[in-house]
Amino acid sequence: MIITKTPFRISFVGGGSDLPAYYEKQRGAVLSTSIDKYMYISTHAFFEKDKIRCKYSQTETVDHVKDLQHPILRTVLEDFNLKGIEVSSIADIPGGTGMGSSSSFTVGLLHNLSALTGRSYEKDALGAGACRVEIDLLKEPIGKQDQYAAAFGGLNVIEFNPDGSVAVHPVKITEETKNTLNGNLKLYYLGNQRSASAILAEQKKNTSQESKFQALSTMVGLVYKLRDALESGDLNDFGALLHENWLLKQQLASGITNPRITAAYDAGRNAGALGGKLLGAGGGGFMLFYAPLEAHASLDLAMKGIEAEPFNFNMEQDGSKLIHVER
């Protein structure tokens, strides 16, 4: 049996510039961190050697890989040409909540099967391989940030170049600043799991508009402002930069926000949060706030009033890793 453990991620600023509609014209960038919530993928030999069994939210047992209904499992298993295998997944967070779950699944699956078959599983290869599966083969209208965040782990500036290459630059942050940042971040689950595809497809289309493109360019600029603040240990502007990014992001597509999301964000700001954003493409999932410790009790109370559940997490730095190998 082989088990991989692959983190989910939180993106702070720059999201949307990892779409080709933007970075093919001008370099995109995001600043994000992986967190201590994970996708676990296990594989082992299946008793029936001529079949394939996959367990996720459903269980599929098929004679031929092409008959699998799960698109990522079907595509990756076909690529590895495997039979007589059982693949299972367990996640700390459900899909469709803005944490990059599908990419964590893809990275973890590639990592697991690469270890099983003796292929390379360097972090760059995992990030690029997951992009190939999701974007090139499955034609999902998504960007590249989630795949590299899951593969590399840690707090990074991830850059997306016009030639299609991706560069991951760790943010050089002190332990004191990291602890302060981690302590001031608050996360709440709003519910409403959703697919990001429709919102991202609209955003891709809208990027051709000059005003949308300029909004994304401003968001990319915020990435470097936030990096500099973190590396200098100055968190005074962290909330303000999150807030500016959120205001810009709402301009990119119609489905990013809705009345409940707006009410939650306004309630959080009124309770003392200095800034925040909805995670993921939009429409639902998790709301992130940056707030001083003295405002946390008021923030919890405000979110309880709109039935948003607090969700505890910590930043992590390992990225996808093997946690069990027994052949």
Number of residues written out for the chain: 327
8 Å CB contact between 297 and 262 = no
Percentage above 90 pLDDT, the chain: 79
- Residue 208's pLDDT is 61
- Residue 95's pLDDT is 85
8 Å CB contact between 53 and 47 = no
Three-class SS state of 280? coil
- Residue 195's pLDDT is 53
Rounded to two decimals, the pTM is 0.93
Closest CA to 173 of 227, 123, 215: 227
Q: What is the CATH number of domain 2-172+320-325?
A: 3.30.230.10
With bands split at pLDDT 50, 70 and 90, how would you rate the model's confidence at 212?
confident
Side chain identity, residue 200:
L
Q: What is the CATH number of domain 175-315?
A: 3.30.70.890
With bands split at pLDDT 50, 70 and 90, how would you rate the model's confidence at 283?
low
Q: Looking at per-residue confidence, does 259 or 157 come out higher?
A: 157
Q: Lowest-pLDDT range, 13-27, 80-94, 114-128, 179-193?
A: 179-193
Q: Do domains 2-172+320-325 and 175-315 have the same CATH topology?
A: no
Distance CA 326, CA 42 (A): 11
- Residue 194's pLDDT is 53
Q: Lowest-pLDDT range, 64-78, 168-182, 206-220, 307-321?
A: 206-220
* Residue 122: CA count within 13 A, CB half-sphere: 3
Q: What is the DSSP string of 94-153?
A: -SSSSS-HHHHHHHHHHHHHHHHHT----HHHHHHHHHIIIIIIS-----SHHHHHHHH-
Where are the domains positioned within the chain? 2-172+320-325, 175-315
Q: What average pLDDT score do residues 46-58 get?
A: 95
Closest CA to 145 of 198, 178, 102: 102
Q: CA–CA distance from 228 to each of 161, 175, 243, 304 (Å)?
A: 21, 16, 17, 34
Distance CA 226, CA 181 (A): 12
Element at 10 (helix H, strand E): strand 2-13
Q: Dihedral of the CA atoms 138, 100, 3, 139 (nearest 10)?
A: 0
- Residue 7's pLDDT is 98
Query: Over the chain, what is the mean pLDDT?
Result: 92
Q: What average pLDDT score do residues 141-148 get?
A: 94
Q: What is the DSSP string of 45-98?
A: E-SSTT-EEEESSSEEEESSGGG-S-HHHHHHHHHHT--SEEEEEEESS-SSSS
Residue 269 has pLDDT above 90, yes or no: yes
With bands split at pLDDT 50, 70 and 90, how would you rate the model's confidence at 209?
confident
pLDDT in tens, 14-45: 999 999 989 999 999 999 999 999 999 999 99
pLDDT in tens, 150-203: 999 999 999 999 999 999 999 999 999 999 999 999 999 987 655 555 555 665
Q: What average pLDDT score do residues 317-326 get?
A: 96
pLDDT in tens, 244-255: 999 998 887 666
